[in-house]
Amino acid sequence: MIERRACMSFAPAAFAACTFLASGAPAFAQSATANAYPEKPITMIVPFAAGGTSDVIARVIGEQIGRHLGKAVVNENVAGAGGVIALTRAAAAPADGYTILIGNTGTNGASYILSPDVKYKPEAFAAVGLIAKTAPVLAIRNDFPAKTLTEFVAYAKANPGKINLGHAGIGSSNYLICKNFIAASQTSVTLVSYRGAAPALNDLLGGHVDGVCDAATSVAPSIQTDKVRALAVAAQQRLEILPDTPTSAEAGLPAFQAEGWNAIFTPAGVPQPILAKLNAALRASLADPAVTKRFNDVGSTPARGAELTPEHVQALVISDIARYKVLLSSKD
């Protein structure tokens, strides 16, 4: 670094050049860092246990981003507290692009409402781009007395508090599916919190809970093999992978809408050129027809066009925070 007192002793022309070098040094360093990025593997923090929706999507996209960047993306599952533990860790990570986060409508939207004392705020993260939108499903054990969504709602109203629905933790997108169902159906059910979607689904398969609020990404295989029964997809259209499962409107509860999303974030302060590299790798990954098929096969819709911009993700976060301030009036 050139000291100012040394510059002051130079002739005017030399002083101007010296001033340019001094002021441009940080930009030079940032550019050099970005050009070399990545020089080592990248850690992708996944806020939930292995086997759930975020984990499945993270594994697909992490593999592809690593291929395009030329360095491995290593997924690290940091489960607990509906994503708060993972986001706390991600927010405190160095802003160098070597720690990224897969977030969703719960972790990056509802968590600020449910846990107002968290050590991070929305501005602690920089958005890279949307990965995919996810389709929410309400599924129940096969031996449950109700066979349709209408019957399930009627049973819940006749037996307030007696139905148990599992989810991936308070603040998770699956928890929000449950809360949307309760609000739409005006029923009272007991919500059971787990450290991820997979443990909740395992307990449903074992008959320990009556149903789960989940995304098709993780629950579809169990529905397709008749291990559990799907009552509805809480979205506007049926899913190709679950053609016999009606939408919530078709099943008689049109107000039950809870489409989710997953996106990539970094700690705030990552140099813009590195964010651009990550975004370019995300775009290239999602442009691959094989990747599109992998997402479609698990009931997710890959991001396209403007959805891939950081601005789109930031707008989603802002709108979800506003939405869940209304919905989340109580904790379960």
- What is the span of the domain harbouring residue 53? 42-134+260-327
111 and 156 together in one domain: no
Tell me whether the omega of the peptide bond preceding residue 271 falls within 30 degrees of 0, making it cis. no
Q: How far apart are CA 201 and CA 233, in angstroms?
A: 16
Radius of gyration of the chain (CA): 23
Q: Is residue 53 part of a domain?
A: yes
CATH of the domain at 96: 3.40.190.150
71 and 215 together in one domain: no
Of 216, 233, 250, the one marking the end of a domain is 233
Q: Is residue 105 part of a domain?
A: yes
140 and 127 together in one domain: no
Instruction: Compute CA distances 232 → 56, 171, 253, whole Å.
Output: 22, 22, 9
CATH of the domain at 159: 3.40.190.10
What pLDDT, on a 0 to 100 scale, did the predictor assign at position 27? 54
121 and 270 together in one domain: yes
140 and 110 together in one domain: no
What pLDDT, on a 0 to 100 scale, did the predictor assign at position 206? 97
What pLDDT, on a 0 to 100 scale, did the predictor assign at position 5? 35
Q: Could you give the number of structural domains in the chain?
A: 2
Phi, psi for residue 190 in degrees, rounded to 5: -95, 125
121 and 178 together in one domain: no
What pLDDT, on a 0 to 100 scale, did the predictor assign at position 102? 97
140 and 228 together in one domain: yes
Q: How far apart are CA 16 and CA 4, in angstroms?
A: 12
pLDDT tens series, the chain, 332 aa: 333 333 433 344 443 444 444 445 455 456 667 789 999 999 999 998 898 889 999 999 999 999 999 999 999 999 988 889 999 999 999 999 999 999 999 999 998 898 888 889 999 999 999 999 999 999 999 999 999 999 999 999 999 999 999 998 888 889 999 999 999 999 999 999 998 899 999 999 999 999 999 999 999 999 999 999 999 999 999 999 999 999 999 999 999 999 999 999 999 999 999 999 999 999 999 999 999 999 998 899 999 999 999 999 999 999 999 999 999 875 55
156 and 127 together in one domain: no
127 and 55 together in one domain: yes
| Pairing verdict, β 164-167 and 190-193 | parallel
**DSSP secondary structure letter of residue 165:** E
What pLDDT, on a 0 to 100 scale, did the predictor assign at position 22? 44
Q: pTM for this one? A: 0.84
219 and 141 together in one domain: yes
Q: Is residue 253 part of a domain?
A: no
Q: Is residue 90 part of a domain?
A: yes
